[in-house]
A and B are shown apart, each in its own frame.
Chain A
């Protein structure tokens, strides 16, 4: 009985993770510009991989009776680094001048970046 409950938990966790990764892949194809694509990739891929790792951890813990702390460390590591990776990609895309989607309504970083660039030019001369 406990094995059935454990298996249900493991399978549902892994299936949930795989569905999130599938959503990521669809988002990467369907979304219009770099920023919404990093939004899709950094959030749902991180969550998907975390759920798959959690399922693997549960399998080795509940079925094989072996607690693998490296998987827990991997979950924490992904949770910290995944969103930061997305942030860095989006930021470097913005600073190198990649255009926003033509239906975007707000661009609040633009005046700040223009100001910084002007200051930089003045410091040069």
Chain B
């Protein structure tokens, strides 16, 4: 039976952006406050799962045409290359470095290579979670 989900779908359209922005916040705040790549990735994945619940799998894959397997591979590559980059500077594997930069608009900020590693973790978590859920959800 075709049901009328207009309330759920309209709320999802608003709520998805709140969840997504909050996951970005959690991801960037991970160095100084609770949070980081893993929780941020899980929150992003839960936002996409909310979209999957309110709409169907086909609509979500046309709206977000992402191959999550490739996303996992990119994340692993990023994490591994951040760790391996330390070798070229004559320091042990996985040594991180940071420096202060003057960015336009943001002013003086410290940028750390652990951020790149965290981005890798984020991509892997989103990719793996969405691969699991999509392959269980698609029953053909």
Contacts and interface: CB of A to CB of B under 8 A. Distances in A.
A118 to B, nearest CB: 10
Contacts, number: 26
B8 A84 contact: yes
Contact of B3 (A73, A76, A87, A95): A95
For chain A, the bracket of interface size reads 10 to 19
Nearest to B3: A95
Contact of B15 (A77, A95, A116, A117): A77
A98 interface: no
| Chain B contact surface mostly | helix
B2 interface: yes
A63 interface: no
Interface residues of B, number: 10
A80 B50 CA distance: 14
Contacts of A120: 1-2
A88 to B, nearest CB: 6
Contacts of B63: none
Interface of B: 1-3, 7-8, 11, 14-15, 18, 22
Interface of A: 70, 73, 76-77, 80-81, 84, 87-88, 91, 95, 116-117, 120
